[in-house]
Chains A and B, each alone.
Chain A
Amino acid sequence: MTTPKSIEQKIREIVCEVTDLTPDVLVPTATFEELEVDSLDLVTILYDIDEELGIDLEASEFEHVKTIQDFIDKVQELAGDK
């Protein structure tokens, strides 16, 4: 069964894999801008989340997302809706 906690863990793994960031820098309040995660990274992360977790996401749904925690919360919110 896929729990919210396991989804969060998987999202973190995907973000690290795409961006080469290490897990320790993905603190909840870190922003994408601070972490230098750009738009190309974002669409790649969203594609990988779809591939791994089967959650279909559009980049436009993340326009107002700033922090890592915002991102994780949004993915889980959208996953629940789909």
Chain B
Amino acid sequence: MKKRVVVTGVGAISGLGDSVAESWTNALSGKSGIAIRDVTVRRHPEYTAQYPIGQVQTPDIRSRARAIGGKAGKIVGRGVQLSLIASQEALLDSKLADRPDVLEEAAIVYGCGCPGLDSLEEGYASVLLRGLNKVNPMMVPNVMPSAAASALSMAFGIKGPCQTISTACASSAHAILSATHMISSGRAKLAVAGGSDAPLTYGNLAAWKSLGALSEEHCRPFSSRRDGTVIAEGAATIILEEYETARDRGATIYAEILGGGDTADAAHITQPSISGMLKVLQLANESCAIDPTAPALISMHGTGTPLNDKCEAAAVADYYGRNIENNTIIATKSLHGHAIGATAAIEFILGILAMNEGQAPCVEAAANKETEASLPFHKSANDTFECTHLISNSFAFGGANVVLVANKFAE
């Protein structure tokens, strides 16, 4: 018999906020973490460019990570450092941080889309710009996609399954779904799931610009004025637990994860597919036995690129049909940017809070009356809404799609 899976702790750090609480406060007040900032090759200020980015503004990330992580904190990558901070918050929130006996048996499933870019760029600068014949040896562990998951294992004494999933923008959604399956199948009672990425390097942003995917100034999901996405850094972690274990220890339960859908488009390495998005929406809802007429809070992938938002709007409209107006739609990348491997987990946490509170950050385009599609976008953070469940979309480059489904928790 499948075990029920619940969320008992959350943690997040991004340009939107230093914690879940700060992120939520800023989200509801519409205080975006996106700003136009300098991005520089470390030690080479001659390589500086300006981009709109979502950057963590807390100055002491490295020392905080080292204080949390012990030997794990010596892993120099910023993405790893962010994962330690978010995960500590989640474990403290779940009241499991001081339970080494429980953590020893736990699983980690963590997402990462573009690991160690900071170390990689620094290494190339050493060799190509400064003519050195050596590179920081810590670059080796830091560019492993599994660096964050391993750091979490080391920092928190977690000795169960330790997996990393790398599916670009869907990485942390896949991680959450995979961890859910691990618990529902009885393979683990507790899982630390989420994702982190620190992609704000000179080279990476130049590449995204060359791709033509970046906005000149801001991320405007579903806006008629949208012109691209904004790259961001961040980390978000959720603690997933088997329901009976959580109940017996008196844990605070945020939500129940019912499951979701994951599919591949088999179409294009960067372009989305409406039929692919529709298929995964159907799979997610049907596999979780969701009544399509029940009011959902739908958290869109909403990157702010012309193509994603057009396709996603069409797919969502197609799936819900005449029931579409029963739902409330949000799209939060205008607040935190696109944090690649972390973004799905950040959005899932914001979606859970919104589902529970019946309040959500507005879709900026709807507030400004400039949405392109006719969908029930949430117009104001002051408006309340009803919903029974959360649908959280992630549609990645390469056509890897995940839709997560969570319910308001009920005994």
Contact = CB atoms under 8 A, between A and B. Distances in A.
Interface stretch (A6-14, A40-48, A60-68, A69-77): A40-48
Nearest to A41: B74
B138 interface: yes
A47 B135 CA distance: 8
A39 to B, nearest CB: 10
Contacts of A20: 66, 70, 73-74
A18 B137 CA distance: 12
Contacts of B74: 18, 20, 41, 44
Contacts, number: 20
Interface centre among B70, B134, B136, B137 (most CB of A within 10 A): B137
Contacts of B134: 47, 50, 56
Nearest to B126: A51
A18 B66 CA distance: 11
A82 B61 CA distance: 37
A23 B118 CA distance: 29
Among B73, B132, B134, B135, max chain A CB count under 10 A is at B134
Interface residues of A, number: 9
B55 to A, nearest CB: 24
Interface in B115-141: 132, 134-138
Contacts of B136: 44, 47
Interface string A26-42: 00000000000000110
Contacts of B138: 40, 44
Interface residues of B, number: 10
Contacts of A41: 74
A44 B135 CA distance: 10
Given A18-B74, A20-B74, A40 B66 contact: no
Contacts of A50: 132, 134
A51 to B, nearest CB: 8
A65 B138 CA distance: 22
Given A18-B74, A20-B74, A47 B66 contact: no
B137 A43 contact: yes
A42 to B, nearest CB: 9
Contacts of B70: 20
Contacts of A56: 134
Nearest to B136: A47
Interface string B219-249: 0000000000000000000000000000000
Contacts of A43: 137
A45 to B, nearest CB: 10
A43 B140 CA distance: 12
Contacts of B135: 47
Contacts of A44: 74, 136-138
Interface in B52-78: 66, 70, 73-74
A43 B134 CA distance: 11
Interface string B134-155: 1111100000000000000000
A78 to B, nearest CB: 15
Nearest to A59: B137
Nearest to B141: A40
B229 to A, nearest CB: 35
Contacts of B66: 20
A44 B251 CA distance: 42
Contacts of A40: 137-138
A75 B226 CA distance: 57
Interface in B79-135: 132, 134-135
Contacts of B132: 50
A6 to B, nearest CB: 22
Nearest to A48: B136
A47 B138 CA distance: 10
A33 to B, nearest CB: 16
Nearest to A18: B74
A47 B66 CA distance: 20
* 10 tightest Cβ-Cβ pairs between the two chains A and B: A43-B137, A47-B136, A44-B137, A44-B138, A47-B137, A47-B134, A20-B66, A50-B134, A40-B137, A18-B74
Given A20-B73, A44-B136, 5 more contacts: A40-B137, A40-B138, A47-B134, A47-B136, A50-B134
Interface of A: 18, 20, 40-41, 43-44, 47, 50, 56
8 contacts: A18-B74, A40-B137, A40-B138, A41-B74, A44-B136, A47-B134, A47-B137, A50-B134
